[in-house]
Chain A
Amino acid sequence: MVDDNMTLTKTNTAKVKAVEPDFDDEDTTPPIKPGKEREPLRARIEDFSFFYADGFQAIKNVDMPILDRKVTAIIGPSGCGKSTLLRSLNRMHDLYPGNRYEGRVILEPEGENLIGPESDPVIVRLRVGMVFQKPNPFPKTIYENVAAGLRVRGIKKRSMIDEAVENALRRAAIWDEVKDKLNGSAYDLSGGQQQRLCIARGLAPNPEILLLDEPTSALDPIATAKVEDLVQELSESVTIVIVTHNMQQAARVSHRTAFMYMGEMMEFGETQTIFTNPKHPRTENYITGRYG
């Protein structure tokens, strides 16, 4: 019941935004479709739309490439659908009845459609990991938190789990801080450490893509800087898609940036181009701080 309400509230906020934009402009420039990418792709989002159970269309015909082992940032004002898009990539919307996807999310190189009827949301989530806005460690030990993704996959061999846990904690740059208290509660860590632990938890099973949903919005500046450094380091080994409210963050960590507005992807391109030479007037308005 609570879950249903949460979805509803979310939808409603989006609706309010859609009906009454909180700024005055009548720009009707159509979205600029992303150009052809020369670099290798990990996934392609094609003509993707998403509808909440009450029929509200939160995402409208989005096309977006996701580069292999690069950071792709999604920015845009509140309620623009950026988190909704991210959550679609690992089928989180399937947890609540009535939500509907249209279009394709093709995972490369196999060409499997992640949102197609033949693909199982549980399998999709095994391949595409997610880190949430608020740190959400499980009420277990630090070790068990990181091992959770492996246990879900039925891995029982202790030596294998030990190795994967250490490896993930090292990759998430938190090993030195927790190596002496692996059997302590994850709740005893600070907020920033908890979030890096959640990143380690997402990394442990070696996902093909790691989704980060505003991972620093609940963190202080120092913890934020640590997570940003981490994201950049990780992009050498894993494909990352990050949603952020913070434009500077997108500019700092990402290789590609997508700007979303009211469910549409207005512009997509190299991060530097988007921030220095945006082509869509709405992108320009947003990055120059005229709304957001």
Chain B
Amino acid sequence: MAVTTDGPMGAASKTNQEAFDAVSRAQKKDILFATGGLIVMAIAMTLLLTLIGDLVIRGAGRISADFMTSYPSRLPQRAGILSAWVGTLYVMVVTAFLAIPIGVAAGLYLEEYAKKGWLSNFIEINVSNLAGVPSIVYGLLALGLFVYGFNLGKTILVAGMTLALLILPIVIVSTREAVRSIPKIIKEGAYGLGADQWQVMWNYVIPAARPGILTGAIVGLSRAIGETAPIITIGALTFIAFLPPPPVTGDFPFLSFAWLNEGFTVLPIQMFNWTSRPQADFHTIAATTGVVLIALTFSLNGIAIWIRYRLRKGYRN
């Protein structure tokens, strides 16, 4: 605009000069911002890598088959994390079985079926807020409601239920976002063919939203896997030298749910327990446990990325 003034030539070239100056000032700002951003990012990455590196250097030496298959012991040389990682696995299974179906169903209902109005807005805001509630609060709720209220005891089931509550908002929010990002013309196309709401949801909405839903579910699970506070609050044991009964048995009906009602420990609690011991050797195996936990979290996230990639690709073809 300013360049094409109707004034005399002198004025026009002056405006041109001003415009060029403005552009070069803007470019300088760009460079300044990019440099600043790079420095901040470098600091953050260095800190993170240092932490992980330190953990790996201190702990990786102790990783061995023995360590993975031994129970904890009062002797650090003989201690292992068998009961902890098995406990983590069991608790995660319960969490996934509860949080994913309930969260996905709730998200689909809120987005597709629920009448839009003040009530659905109110629920939406609250679900998002719940995602930010400190995890210890969930622990207290579970202690009062599940452990004492329903008298379920300090079991794998209760731990799974507590963590499921904790990650439910994450699953709901990511489901809603995945559903919301489906183009309107695809849905209208399906409705235009005479599909009813269930057919549209089942055949068009869910397949298109699946990568987003699964990513949300796995992000939720990898948050749950590292949670310590709510599990300690409900009273997980810190020293366990036995395994819960296996879920698959030799006798009919071959499935057993007795493990749900067993006491348990999980990796972060085992780690927390060992770091609070005075002996340096225990600190080393705590670091080793940390390495295992980080590896588990990373592989969960890796699976999420892989699934997302595969489904996006598969869905296109």
* Shortest CB distance A34–B (Å): 27
Question: Is A136 a contact of B316 with CB atoms below 8 Å?
Answer: no
Number of chain A residues close to chain B: CB under 8 A: 35
| Interface residue ranges of B160-218 to A (CB < 8 Å) | 180, 183-196, 199, 203-204, 207-208
Question: Is B194 a contact of A136 with CB atoms below 8 Å?
Answer: no
Q: Is residue A24 within 8 Å, beta carbon to beta carbon, of the partner chain?
A: no
Q: Please, which residues of chain B bring their CB within 8 A of the CB of A141?
A: 317
The prevalent SS among residues of A at the interface is helix
Question: Is A139 a contact of B316 with CB atoms below 8 Å?
Answer: yes
Q: Please, which residues of chain B bring their CB within 8 A of the CB of A201?
A: 189, 193
Most buried by A among B194, B196, B317: B194
Given the known interface contacts A2-B180, A6-B184, the answer about A187 and B316 at a Cβ–Cβ threshold of 8 Å is yes
Question: Is B193 a contact of A97 with CB atoms below 8 Å?
Answer: no
Most buried by A among B180, B196, B208: B196
Q: Is residue A161 within 8 Å, beta carbon to beta carbon, of the partner chain?
A: no
Question: Is A92 a contact of B196 with CB atoms below 8 Å?
Answer: no
A6 to B116, CA, bound (A): 15
| Interface residue ranges of A1-43 to B (CB < 8 Å) | 1-4, 6
Residue of A whose beta carbon sits closest to that of B197: A122
Question: Is B204 a contact of A1 with CB atoms below 8 Å?
Answer: no
Question: Is A126 a contact of B184 with CB atoms below 8 Å?
Answer: no
Q: Please, which residues of chain A bring their CB within 8 A of the CB of B306?
A: none
The residue that B199 contacts in the complex, of A1, A92, A139, A152, with Cβ under 8 A, is: A152
A1 to B191, CA, bound (A): 18
Q: Please, which residues of chain A bring their CB within 8 A of the CB of B74?
A: none
A91 to B184, CA, bound (A): 16
A interface residue numbers (CB < 8 A to B):
1-4, 6, 90, 92, 95, 97, 122-123, 125-127, 129-130, 132, 134, 136-139, 141, 148-149, 151-153, 184-185, 187, 198, 201-202, 205
13 contacts between A and B (CB under 8 A): A6-B184, A95-B187, A95-B188, A122-B196, A125-B195, A126-B194, A132-B188, A132-B192, A136-B188, A138-B189, A139-B207, A152-B199, A205-B194
